[in-house]
Amino acid sequence: MSLTASSTPQGFSTFITNLGIRDTTEDFVFIRSDVPCVADGVFTQSLFAGPSVTISRQNLQDGQAQGIIVISKNANVANGAVGIADAQEIIQLVAQETGIAAGNLAIASTGVIGRRYPIEKIRAGLVGMGQKLTSADFDLAARGIMTTDTVSKIAARQVGNAKLVGIAKGVGMIEPNMATMLAFFFTDAAISANTLRQIFRSTIDKTFNCLSIDTDTSTSDSAVILANGLAGEVSETEFAIALQEIAHDLVLKIARDGEGATKVIEVTVDLAANYAQAKRVAKAIVNSPLVKTAVYGADPNWGRVAMAIGKCEDERDINPDQVVIRFDQVQVYPNTFQAENLEKLKEIMSKEKVNIHVSLNIGTDVATVWGCDLTEGYVEINGKYST
């Protein structure tokens, strides 16, 4: 989708350019609010978190921000003291150019790990940027934060008189404990810091935390939301619904664009003892390389789903005799093999979105997670990522 002026939240501006970080595509995105915003951020739990994560986590502790800096094609991770110094310098340069206090800026970075920013190019490219800000172009911003993504990811909703837009990037190294690779949300709704925090974190947990491409957690995962309040107050319930819808849209876009992916996998586990159990079992299924390759090959091998459930050995209350496995609406376990079902199942497994449904028949809780198939393309992309 592309945003129109009528669907863009008021009071935001952008500076988006190529600084020559890796190639000739846009690699620097700055999104600014005219006024300080109520803000929140959720970040990776990786022990190798980069300076962008540690600095932004600190700057957002007071629940306020006015701008977000995003650098793509270079993660600036595992570069020691010089990496921290480079990130701090970039924040200071942007602060000087825009007049925003350094502590009111968040920064995110994504790309190759272990390589220093081309800091001289960045210094030169940021000269005069404060005078180059234009009306917010969230479509270009969504493209500017991409790395190996093949399409940009953007979604928007109206909430009363306010607008809400989200952009994201991510196609690989996605098995987050908090968010996706990068996701940013902007709104002109007025909402309190405590309410925003509660809604945002609940949304992240039910959407981006339920997404997995390859079981690998990024060192740079960051999800940030800015609310400048210029459109006035909105219904908290409507805002929560809109944010959930946008996040869900972005999750599906990421799953569809998974590195080398041809299909989305949606796994729902219901009738579980609790939400944590349902999510754990669902993640075990969507993360299984054997399930992923079966989906890629349109092979209705439900035994691989049973295998994945069986790996959750700590869930001692799961009884295989009570479990029901379905592909779409077709029950495959327990079931006596019926040859006439094979073609129907192959049809289901050949769809662009494959639904796997597991009922544990223990309790009442349910969780849905998303992922993608595993293809030769994933190996091709990641076998040459740094070269």
Tell whether residue 293 is among the known ligand binding residues: no
What SS3 class is residue 234?
A: coil
- Residues 267 and 372: their CA atoms lie apart, in Å, by 11
Annotated ligand binding at 361? The verdict is no
Structural tokens at position 353: 């979105």
* Long-range Cβ contacts of 140-144 (<8 Å, 24+ apart): 140/14, 140/16, 140/26, 141/14, 141/16, 141/29, 141/31, 141/70, 141/167, 141/184, 142/167, 142/168, 142/169, 143/25, 143/26, 144/16, 144/25, 144/26, 144/27, 144/28, 144/29, 144/70, 144/72
In SS3 terms, 315-371 reads as CCCCCCCCCEEEECCEEEECCCCCHHHHHHHHHHHCCCEEEEEEECCCCCEEEEEEE
Catalytic residue among 8, 98, 110, 180, which? 180
Separation of alpha carbons 39 and 56, rounded Å:
11
Query: Is 132 annotated as contributing to ligand binding?
Result: no
Instruction: Identify the residue whose tokens are 């404990």.
Output: 177
| Nearest one of 292, 310, 312 to 356, comparing CA atoms | 292
Is 336 marked within a binding site? no
- Spacing of C-alpha 40 from chain mean position: 15
> Is there a binding annotation on residue 262?
no
Q: Is 238 annotated as a binding residue?
A: no
Q: At a CB cut-off of 8 Å and minimum separation 6, what does 222 contact?
A: 41, 42, 43, 44, 52, 53, 56, 106, 108, 179, 182, 183
Q: Annotate 34-70 with b (16+ C-beta within 10 A) or e (fewer).
A: eebbbbbbbbbebeebbbbbebbbebbeeebbbbbbb
Burial of 180 (0-12, 13-18, 19+ CB in 10 A): buried
Respond yes or no: is residue 364 known to be catalytic: no
Any idea which residues carry the catalytic annotation?
Answer: 180
Please give the annotated binding residues for substrate, written as ranges.
147, 169, 180, 259, 382, 387
